[in-house]
Structure 1
Amino acid sequence: MADPSLTRALDPAKAQRLLAAACDNIRGLENNACVLENELLQSRVEARQLNATLDSSPLVALSKLITRLRIKVLPPGSGPHSFVRWVIGRSRRLRMPPYPDPYPVWIARHEPQAFAQLQAPSNAAPCIYFLLTGHGSALQASLKSVLAQTDPNWRLLLTVAAPYPFEDARIQTVEAPAHASAAAVWNKALESAPDGYVAILRPGDHLAPGAVSALRGTLEKEPRIGMIYSDEDAIDGVGRRCDPLFKPDWSPETFRAMDYMGNLTAFHLPLVREIGGFRPEFGEAAVYDLALRASEKTASIRHSPLVLYHSQKASVRQRGYGLDGSRAVQEHLDRLQLAGEVAAESTQGLRQIRYRVGLPLVSIVIPSKDQPRLLERCVESLLAGDYPSQEIVLVDTGSVTPEAREVNARLALRPGVRLLHWDQPFNYSAVNNFAVRQARGDVLTFLNDDTEVISPDWLERMLEYALQPNVGAVGAKLLYSNETIQHAGIVLGLKNIICGHLLQRAPDSAAAGHPLAVARNVSAVTGACLMMRRSVFDEVGGFEEQFAGDFNDVDLCLKVRQSGYQVIWTPHARLFHHECQTRGKISIVNGTRHTLFVLERLLFLDRWGAVVGRGDPFYNPNLNQDEADGTVRR
């Protein structure tokens, strides 16, 4: 018999009344939106009048002069500039009281629930082998954490100087030569592991009680996984957990720059044997080298966003491994036939890779309307760059002021600059697609007219990634005029918004020693500065012209990723973004702009709602989901 409540819910008359009420609410919201839009328009008019008054002020003129002198004397990114910013930041930190640590709150609020939701794996799930070397109290602490596992399906291969019997049959001792390297000892221990997965447990470090259960549960669902890794944290001198490492899902470019996978990476034993096991000649980087080689043989690499490993605080972080780590990455690049060289490692354990590029023609597409000062500053900064093979394609989308027309005509006379005219209603996607059809380059760069180049080699640094066959789109680091971060990649699936900019408005100096100091995989980059090969642009169908004002860049990047390409953000191409002029050209009349945004938002969610709903693979779910500031979720 049907549920009576369902019968009532399907009553046509009631449904009609509900629909009518919903339509009335929508009309009311649209009217309110129109009122707000008109108020906003009036506020913008008043703001422009105020800006014009301020621009004529002697104090503002003096301030601009001081800013220009400061940039000339201390160019952004230079050694003196970095030193001055470090001194200022250090002095501020000394004056400010420390913020309370949010991590203990996160542990109490989220971790019990996360572990409670785990389903116990069956006995058919693969066994986890742990390799442990050491002696004394450090070894005992690690051993205790293994014995405390809630899932009994583990084995411990304990390498010792002399065999020692244990009552627990799951613990097997392996005699190790006195002066053998850790990698050689691990290889010998692996002879006793017939099948399953193997992970390194370093003496003194602890496993979370549910570590084995969490790993085996994932491996039972996906038996073809080649590597799986988890989040981790540290334990300080008084036994408190601190310094969490909330990691992204598999990010190959990020991994080359830093060993973010770190501790508790479990490898499928047949894969380990296939690639020759641990290589002793790589010293402390032997596990990192193994992971790099394994990543070349398997595409099935999984991340468990649970804190399953607790390191000693003295040993945690900055796993750069010096020359051994750089050599491991260099051999990895050579095996993949990627023409690149590993640059010197920084003091934070991060490394740069310089990929070799030729001189393909790069077409830089810049739509603009009635922004002569911004446009001229942008173009002049482009012409002052280092890259010799570029064409600048300006698209005038309907300038009406004499100054704008005069500047456009003057810029069109500069070598390497062309001027196109768009005489239809503004549509960001259609304008760029139109310009691409006129452009000559094999590489396309979409640029806002309110940007200004900081690093003269920015095009080359973006080309290093754009020319790689498995990369589809590349973005740059964009800074506001006050040198805070405007763009460091786009994060999907935040609460209340579809996507947001990572670490927006944080000081640029905050990226020092941070993952944002290296090139990294992201879900999307902003169209304010986006580079891609023409072949990829054509393959994915260019910009979707249904997105006239918003979401067009994210849609393009998601199409790129859907086609199997990576999207890369690099901090080594740096520009100012005096946001936001290029996209302000769709007229705001009777709420048109608001209505267009709502429609495009609905269209985007209809197309990509499932992708957005899964969250961003490159932004850990344990981080703040209200905004992409990289802080611990509360």
Structure 2
Amino acid sequence: MNPNDRWAKSFQDWRNGKTSISSLQKQLKHFKRIGIDLNLIKTDLARLHDYLDFHLLNPRYLPISLLLEPATWNPSEDGIQKLPLLLQHRHLSSIDELLMSGTLNQILNGHLSLYGDLPPIPIGAYDSGLNKTQRQFRRANKISLLEHLATEGWDHFRRQESVATGLDRYHPTKLPTINPGVLTSKYLLLVIDGTTHRAQSLAVTGGWEHVVSCSLANMNSLPNLLRDYSAEWISICHASDILANGALHALAGHLQQAKTNTVMTCDDIIVRQLWNDGLGYEHRQYRSSVSAIRLCTRGGIGGLLTLDYSLFKQCSFAPSYTCLEALRLDVLLQITREPIKTTHCHQALVKHQGSKNPSMPEQGWPRERCPFSDKQLDEIDRIKSQHAKQYFGIEGGLKPNPLQAGCHDLSRPTDESSLVSILIPFRDQVELTSTCVKSIQQNAGKSCNYEIILIDNGSADNSTIEWIKKAIKEDNIQCIHLDEEFNYSRLNNRARQLCKGDFLLFLNNDIEFVSESILDVLLDPFAHPKTVAVGSRLNYPDGSIQHQGVVIIPGERRCVLEPGKHLKEQEVIASLLPLRTQEEFSAASAACLMVKAEWFDFVGGFDEKLAVVFNDVDLCLRLRDAGGRIVVTPHATITHYESISRGKDQVGFAWARHQRESGRLRLKHKTIYAQGDPLTSPLLHHHSTRYEPILKQVAPLRPAREEVL
């Protein structure tokens, strides 16, 4: 009898009273080694459970006593701490109500915290992030993940010791104390809501000599209040915030070289506390400078907003706002219509209560992901939509992002006059190329005109030659033959001369369009006037992320990082804001990259000295230097059978060429490799695809040789 049949029989016999529970317990403990199908186990266990979701019925996640006998389960016997649990979940009169109240289900899904000072991490994400030491402890002690989180995990977390990726970043962070310096400019602090005394207290703590307070409910009074003050810079915070001692002096240090028309933000710490007399936890945010595109798509305004006082006084205000985030969005969307300078202080200078002064977190589990009320969301939507009509000059410039409440998608109206030229280089491998072309024909969408330029790089197989003859019979497909050494940049530059489209879509032949109307999805971010190139999330065949944007990495042999790469757990992907929105990046992969044709020509196309790798990164960086912006969308489903077409660059000549082209990229873009990626915090780990912070600084063996060719 195979393992699945043995399990099914044992389960049925136990339910019929024909066998003891011990056989089932043993099979559940060793189900993976025995080879029992997990979905079969979940399906059978679901017949016993009315209060837990199907995906949670996993012997790794939950105690076997809970899985098999939910009606008599005793949480205390499986490590759940009674007092901390009841202190946090005051709707429970007894710990025995944990399961049947639905509270445990919400905890396991990350919608509620288990204890007040423990972040609400989904149990599946806790599983994928648990570090090696804790995994070994769990296996050695034969406990479930819930038992581990409730005991050993909680204990180590409270001692600020490493437990799991996705949990360690919540360790409490002290605000810095900034030594006072000589202030050469005049600074004003605007405190929103609260009393005059509270505003004065914040000013004294932060180092401001001048402060004004205003209520969000009465913004009409603000212009009159501002007339009494002469300043060069204004900073805005909420009355419930806690400022770092001397915060102003940190801001002033960054603004010393700043010119007028400058906006500065800083990192912040979000404090979450369900009860005023209960425990809470902190979430340090690692942000970057304000971006005009990110303001439209996701907000993400960091910490203390400081800006040129003259810019602020030019703004018009609504009579009232529901939250400070709405006010800040309104102000920034007004002043970013014209070119401005942006800068960011990577120190956390403010702590703010998530319930009183909500802001969109860069990373957050389900409970934290959308901190806004419905009323606040409606106002944010209204503000963004209003500015989109004025800024973009079109109707429907923004629409709600279906993946993330409070975020929006750029939406380009259908333009039947637009033409997309799709360039596909290949050499033989006819099955790959034909699959790619067929997927375009099926899923490009009917509202967008396109042509396909096949770039035959010396195919010799008869099957490929015959397929080309058949393919070019289509009115919108042509083929250029370039029988020469593979040079991705040269192939595409030559083929570009045949293109008639106002958009160029560079596509690898190992790409397959899966979702519908993909060209429309790729065109949408061009609704923003600064967007000149758009990339897409690309998935491996197993569904994990292969690509979703490029971050520039200075000071290391690896010169780029691809956020999200190899991530498959949906709970983890959903927790990372940059992976859920149309996100501005410094670069994107040309495995699927749409570029405005005029901008491609303006910067001179691909660099043909970058024959195989980093030509896409170089192109994007030159587009940015010319004033354009790169956006990557999460909304297309595209499979990339990465490097099947030419293999990996891991040994021999290919590795040497890879390193040589890496050196050329660094040499051409010295500034960004010296300063770091302006769109990503330098405090995030250079090897983490999950936007995890550097928790422990490690000194390099020697300086990176950035300019080595």
Same fold per TM (> 0.5)? yes
Matched, 1:314 2:355: yes
Matched, 1:222 2:222: no
Q: Is the 8 A contact 1:282 1:328 kept in 2?
A: no
Q: Is the 8 A contact 2:401 2:581 kept in 1?
A: no
Alignment of 1:63-142 (within 5 A): 92-93=124-125, 96=145, 99-100=163-164, 101-103=167-169, 107=173, 120-135=180-195
Q: Percent identity?
A: 24
The letter of the residue matching 2:454 is L
Partner residue of 1:77?
none
Matches of 2:472 and 2:487 in 1, distance apart?
23
Partner residue of 1:196?
232
Residue 602 of structure 1: CA displacement?
2.2
Residue 225 of structure 1: CA displacement?
4.2
The letter of the residue matching 1:573 is A
SS state at 1:154 partner = coil
Residues 211, 460 of structure 1: CA spacing in aligned structure 2 closer, same or farther, 3 A cutoff?
same
The letter of the residue matching 2:432 is L
Alignment of 1:119-268 (within 5 A): 120-135=180-195, 144-149=201-206, 152-158=207-213, 181-237=217-273, 242-268=282-308
Matches of 2:653 and 2:252 in 1, distance apart?
53
SS state at 1:221 partner = coil
Residue 540 of structure 1: CA displacement?
0.6
Matches of 1:86 and 1:615 in 2, distance apart?
41
Q: Is the 8 A contact 1:106 1:633 kept in 2?
A: no
Matches of 1:267 and 1:448 in 2, distance apart?
44
The runs of 5 or more residues in structure 2 that have no matched partner are 1-52, 59-108, 110-121, 127-143, 150-162, 360-369, 696-709
**TM-score, with normalisation over the residues of structure 2?**
0.67
Residue 223 of structure 1: CA displacement?
3.9
The runs of 5 or more residues in structure 1 that have no matched partner are 1-82, 160-175
Matched, 1:375 2:433: yes
1:430 to 490, 493, 502: 490
Matches of 1:86 and 1:333 in 2, distance apart?
42
Residues 457, 85 of structure 1: CA spacing in aligned structure 2 closer, same or farther, 3 A cutoff?
farther
For 1:229-274, what per-residue CA distance to the aligned partner results, in whole angstroms no more than 9, with x for missing partners?
A: 1111122446766222212222211111222115421232221222
Alignment of 1:278-297 (within 5 A): 278-280=317-319, 282-284=321-323, 285-297=326-338
Partner residue of 2:632?
569
Residues 223, 424 of structure 1: CA spacing in aligned structure 2 closer, same or farther, 3 A cutoff?
closer
2:413 to 335, 347, 356: 356
Matches of 2:472 and 2:54 in 1, distance apart?
40
Q: Is the 8 A contact 1:459 1:573 kept in 2?
A: no
Matches of 1:507 and 1:479 in 2, distance apart?
9
Residues 252, 505 of structure 1: CA spacing in aligned structure 2 closer, same or farther, 3 A cutoff?
same
Q: Is the 8 A contact 1:225 1:302 kept in 2?
A: no
Q: Is the 8 A contact 1:102 1:632 kept in 2?
A: no
Matched, 1:269 2:327: no
Residues 92, 253 of structure 1: CA spacing in aligned structure 2 closer, same or farther, 3 A cutoff?
same
Q: Is the 8 A contact 1:282 1:325 kept in 2?
A: no
Q: Is the 8 A contact 1:126 1:216 kept in 2?
A: no
Partner residue of 1:490?
550
Residue 633 of structure 1: CA displacement?
1.6
Q: Is the 8 A contact 2:409 2:525 kept in 1?
A: no
Matched, 1:559 2:622: yes
Q: Is the 8 A contact 1:132 1:156 kept in 2?
A: no
Residue 84 of structure 1: CA displacement?
9.1
Matched, 1:336 2:399: no
Greater alpha carbon shift after TM alignment, 90-99 vs 309-318:
90-99
Residue 288 of structure 1: CA displacement?
1.7
Q: Is the 8 A contact 1:391 1:417 kept in 2?
A: yes
The letter of the residue matching 2:333 is L
SS state at 2:491 partner = helix
Q: Is the 8 A contact 2:400 2:406 kept in 1?
A: no
Residues 402, 87 of structure 1: CA spacing in aligned structure 2 closer, same or farther, 3 A cutoff?
farther
Partner residue of 2:574?
512
SS state at 1:333 partner = helix
SS state at 1:336 partner = helix
Residues 244, 208 of structure 1: CA spacing in aligned structure 2 closer, same or farther, 3 A cutoff?
same
SS state at 1:438 partner = coil
For 1:8-43, what per-residue CA distance to the aligned partner results, in whole angstroms no more than 9, with x for missing partners?
A: xxxxxxxxxxxxxxxxxxxxxxxxxxxxxxxxxxxx
Matches of 1:366 and 1:84 in 2, distance apart?
43
The letter of the residue matching 1:341 is G
Matches of 1:125 and 1:147 in 2, distance apart?
17
Residue 430 of structure 1: CA displacement?
0.6
The letter of the residue matching 1:547 is L
Q: Is the 8 A contact 2:265 2:290 kept in 1?
A: no
Structure with larger RCO (C-alpha < 8 A, sep 6+): 1
The letter of the residue matching 1:538 is D
Greater alpha carbon shift after TM alignment, 127-136 vs 256-265:
127-136
Residues 341, 611 of structure 1: CA spacing in aligned structure 2 closer, same or farther, 3 A cutoff?
closer
Q: Is the 8 A contact 1:125 1:217 kept in 2?
A: no
Q: Is the 8 A contact 1:248 1:303 kept in 2?
A: yes
Cα RMSD (Å) of the superposition? 3.1
Residue 522 of structure 1: CA displacement?
0.8
Matches of 1:417 and 1:297 in 2, distance apart?
41
Q: Is the 8 A contact 1:369 1:585 kept in 2?
A: no
Q: Is the 8 A contact 1:366 1:392 kept in 2?
A: yes
